[in-house]
């Protein structure tokens, strides 16, 4: 079969990945860059991740509506690929201990290429997944950011807790009977990444209620007589929402 190389290149440039077209990419990229710079200014940081590799963009459809998820490389490797699963299977005793540093140690041990303290800092610094909705070619104003975690803080038991992000959400979930975070709660999901569509549904399609100036809550049905409650933090100066936690009710 003979392939017209010029036609092939046009197709590659125009249609980047499943359901992502070049015009969508540019709109989303510019939108995220603007929001990232606003966050950098608000949080008084001297840097911000304003661009994410084009091959990390993924389109997902949740209940008939299209969204784009844009993870950083580390978020993709840990959550969307296999590193979280591998860590859970390889070091099950590091999970459910009440200590966030044990969870991070289990991930670190898969590929220990520098010291653990630096790894802890890297995971909390600009490692996230953005989620946007695009309707008729227009990027919607609501922007959700799912961090790995925002902070780790010492708890009363002498361990450390994840503050915010998907690692905090994982306190209430497990994989093949093994906890996915600091809690020993067993509530299996088929893959760590499967929590993301549930978060998207709650945030973009759920009955979102404002609790106070900075806190929003939404609940969605996940099984018969079971709901998932999501808590979001709203940074009103930038218009960015952050996931704080998720749990079953």
**What's residue 13's pLDDT?**
33
**What's residue 19's pLDDT?**
61
The average pLDDT across 2-23 equals 45
Q: How confident is the model at residue 8 (pLDDT cuts 50, 70, 90)?
A: very low
Closest CA to 33 of 127, 143, 119, 111: 143
133-156 residue pLDDT tens: 988 888 888 899 999 999 999 988
Alpha carbon distance 229, 218 (integer Å) = 6
The pTM score is 0.85
The average pLDDT across 19-31 equals 82
Alpha carbon distance 111, 63 (integer Å) = 37
**Residue 213: CB atoms within 10 Å:** 7
Q: Where are the beta strands (DSSP E) in 42-95?
A: 58-62, 65-71
Q: Which of 38-42, 176-180, 205-209, 218-222 has the lowest mean pLDDT?
A: 38-42
Closest CA to 166 of 155, 153, 150: 150
**What's residue 38's pLDDT?**
74
**What's residue 222's pLDDT?**
66
86 burial class (0-12, 13-18, 19+ CB within 10 angstroms)? middle
The average pLDDT across 215-237 equals 83
């Amino acid at each position: 079969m003979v392939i017209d190389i010029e036609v092939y290149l046009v197709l590659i440039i125009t249609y980047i990945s499943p359901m992502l077209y070049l015009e969508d990419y540019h709109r989303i990229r510019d939108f995220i860059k603007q929001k990232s710079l606003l966050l950098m200014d608000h949080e008084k940081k001297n840097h911000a991740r304003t661009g994410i590799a084009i091959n990390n963009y993924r389109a997902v459809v949740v209940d008939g509506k299209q969204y784009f998820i844009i993870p950083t490389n580390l978020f993709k490797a840990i959550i969307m690929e296999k590193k979280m699963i591998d860590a859970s299977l390889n070091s099950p005793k590091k999970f459910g201990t009440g200590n966030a540093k044990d969870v991070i140690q289990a991930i670190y041990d898969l590929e220990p290429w520098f010291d653990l303290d630096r790894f802890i800092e890297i995971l909390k610094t600009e490692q996230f997944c953005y989620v946007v909705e695009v309707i008729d070619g227009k990027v919607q104003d609501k922007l959700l950011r799912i961090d790995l975690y925002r902070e780790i803080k010492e708890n009363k038991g002498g361990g450390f807790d994840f503050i915010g992000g998907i690692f905090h959400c994982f306190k209430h979930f497990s994989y093949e009977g093994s906890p996915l975070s600091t809690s020993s709660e067993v509530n299996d999901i088929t893959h760590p990444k499967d929590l993301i569509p549930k978060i998207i549904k709650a945030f973009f399609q759920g009955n979102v209620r404002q609790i106070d100036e900075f806190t929003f809550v939404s609940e969605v049905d996940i099984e018969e007589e079971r709901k998932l409650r999501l808590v979001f933090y709203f940074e009103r100066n930038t218009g960015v929402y952050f996931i704080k936690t998720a749990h079953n009710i």
